[in-house]
Structure 1
Amino acid sequence: MPETGKITTRTENNIGTISFYHPKGNALPGKMLRNLAEAITRLGRESDTRVLVLKSRGEGAFCGGASFDELMSIDNYQEGKDFFMGFANVLNAMRTCSKLTIVRIQGKTVGGGVGIAAAGDYAVAHQSASVKLSELALGLGPFVVGPAVERKIGISAFSALAMDAGSWKKADWAEAKGLFSKVCATHDQLDEKVETLAEQLSGYSPDAMEELKTMLWKDTDDWELLLEERAEISGRLVLSDVTKEFIEQFKNS
């Protein structure tokens, strides 16, 4: 598997499945983020797809968030904004996709991965799937993913997750706050739940599900501009010497 990672898609029995993989903890470099947003948009437009399943490969981390190597290489504002727009575009693709989306979470997820979990319409997780927003500890902040996470768990829980940037919150915490819809004890149960729910949804009325999706995401029409503004904040902060030092320390820890 190449160091750049890989996005794969398939559609079977009206279920569109998108899987991502990166050898470094399923991190998401800029190219993978672009490809992921494109895959969500493309499958969402296909008439033979009625429901989407988004997952990563392996039994380790679901998503390691941003690529530290790529963060360290950013040396101007436009590069910084463009990188964080990658996460913004994925979240907006999930938001505007007319198909209900199930996110399968098999392990730890951090930063942008928490945003992806929050942007899912139904998140099914393994009991090992703890979550962390580590951005503040890196000299940044969970600005781009913030609207998605706050929408799902509320301002109080989001504040606790964002400020306690060095601590993991366990799966039962995420389920209690509404970030996870269901937590499973085994990987077999995780797969069974995802498959069963996807099969059920694939047999429902596409029009009814599209109306439900629209209702679930009401009052988010400003996210195109909002997430771009948040990407601009992160794009500025990532250039500071303090932030680069924090990222280097985090990378080598």
Structure 2
Amino acid sequence: MSYTNILSETQNGLTTITINRPKKLNALNKETIQELHDAFKAANTNPDTKVIVLTGSGDKAFVAGADIAEFADFDEYHGEQLAAKGQDILFNFVENLSTPVIAAINGFALGGGLELAMACHFRIASDNAKMGLPEVSLGVIPGYGGTQRLPQLVGKGRAMEMVMTAGMISAQDALTYGLVNHVTSAEELMPLAEKIAGKIMRNSSVAIKGAIRAINANFKDGVHGYDVEIEEFGNCFGTEDFKEGTSAFLEKRKAQFPGK
């Protein structure tokens, strides 16, 4: 599949999706959001993909935000529809993928860019990265899940401060806050992502799918996370991966998971 604003490459079980609008600091417009949806959907259904890494092209930005020119003249109805559609086809979609998604933040991750990174299963960052939700400085609030995912990751107080001040934090502060898992140099960012992906690939993709669903359930209203965990735990016992994993353990050998 060919894209205008993104690149997607699969190699050795890893699909790397790169937002490729460097002259616009990889800002998210409607076309890019749709292309990202299509690329994530394709990767998630590709049996050769075990892990997805999302990053931005160039050395300045992961995603510097949404393309403001596209919605500057919207009214209330169209603003609400913009947020609803974006959350549905991209942000919530990514969060609920069964394939692990790592955000490799290689520069500015602002507004919709940080919201996209937060929708990924976890995040790593280069030491020159800057993150923030500046929407209130434009007279609007984060609309792609930022008011929900940021408090889950950094706590209510820090989230309130970040949103209200519209300021940016450094990669090191993001690490301290728990917003990212690792910080490294720009040169080592993708190698680190590949190293972590390699560790993930050694494990059962079927079990990981169940773990993603169970962890996400803890953050959903009206869903009892413990019940989902029990259900997914039980499901594992009917899989070939469980038979292989337990047999390999008892036989003191490395498991070769079939992913079934």
| Shorter-chain TM-score range | 0.7 to 0.9
**Corresponding residue number in structure 2 for 1:92:** 92
* Residue 149 of structure 1, CA deviation: 1.7
The equivalent residue for 1:150 is: 151
Pairwise CA distance, 1:212: 1.9
User: 2:26 aligns to what?
Assistant: 26
Q: TM-score, normalised by structure 1?
A: 0.79
Bigger mean CA offset, 134-143 vs 76-85 = 76-85
Q: Give secondary structure in 1 for the equivalent of 2:8.
A: strand
Aligned to 1:128: 128
CA distance in 1, matches of 2:76, 2:172: 39
Q: Tell me if the contact between 1:10 and 1:18 (Cα under 8 Å) persists in the aligned partners.
A: yes
2:82 match: 83
Map 1:172-211; keep pairs closer than 5 Å: 172-184=172-184, 186-211=185-210
CA displacement, residues 167-186 of structure 1 (integer Å, 9 cap, x when unaligned): 211111111111111011x2
Question: Relative to structure 1, is the Cα distance of residues 66 and 115 closer, same or farther in structure 2, using a 3 angstrom cutoff?
Answer: same
Match of 1:44 in 2: 44
C-alpha distance in structure 2 between counterparts of 1:63 and 1:5, whole Å? 16
* One-letter identity of the residue aligned with 1:28: L
How far did 1:99 drift? 1.0
Matched, 1:111 2:111: yes
Report the Cα distance in structure 1 between the residues aligned to 2:107 and 2:36, rounded to whole angstroms.
Answer: 19
CA RMSD of aligned residues (A): 2.0
* Deviation by residue 1:123-168 (Cα, 9 ceiling, x = unmatched): 1101111111111111101243221222222211111110111x21
Between Structure 1 and Structure 2, how many residues are aligned?
Answer: 217
Displacement after TM superposition at 1:101 (Å)? 0.9
Cα shift readout 1:58-85 (whole Å, capped 9, x = no counterpart): 10011111102112243x4443234323
State, as a whole percentage, how many aligned pairs show the same letter.
25
Once the 2 structures are TM-superposed, how far is the Cα of residue 216 of structure 1 from its aligned partner? Answer: 2.2
SS at match of 2:60: coil
Task: Mark the CA change 1:21 to 1:86 in structure 2 (over 3 Å): closer, same or farther.
Answer: farther
| Counterpart code for 1:95 | E
Does residue 27 of structure 2 align to residue 8 of structure 1? Answer: no
Q: Residues of 2 paired with 1:150 and 1:143: CA distance?
A: 14
Unaligned runs of 5+ in 1: 224-253
Decide which moves more: 79-88 or 132-141.
Answer: 79-88
Distance 1:31 1:84 in 2: 15
Partner secondary structure for residue 188 of structure 1: coil
Pair 1:124–1:151, CA change in 2 (3 A): same
CA contact (8 A) 2:128 2:186 kept: no
Structure with the bigger RCO (C-alpha within 8 Å, sep 6+) is 1
Q: CA deviation at 1:38?
A: 2.5
CA–CA distance in 1 between the matches of 2:85 and 2:27? 13
State the distance in 1 between where 2:58 and 2:143 align.
28
- 8 Å contact from structure 2 (residues 83, 143) kept in 1: no
CA contact (8 A) 2:110 2:131 kept: yes
Structure 2: gaps (5+ residues): 223-260
User: Residues 131 and 170 of structure 1 are in contact (CA less than 8 Å); yes or no, is this contact kept in structure 2?
Assistant: yes
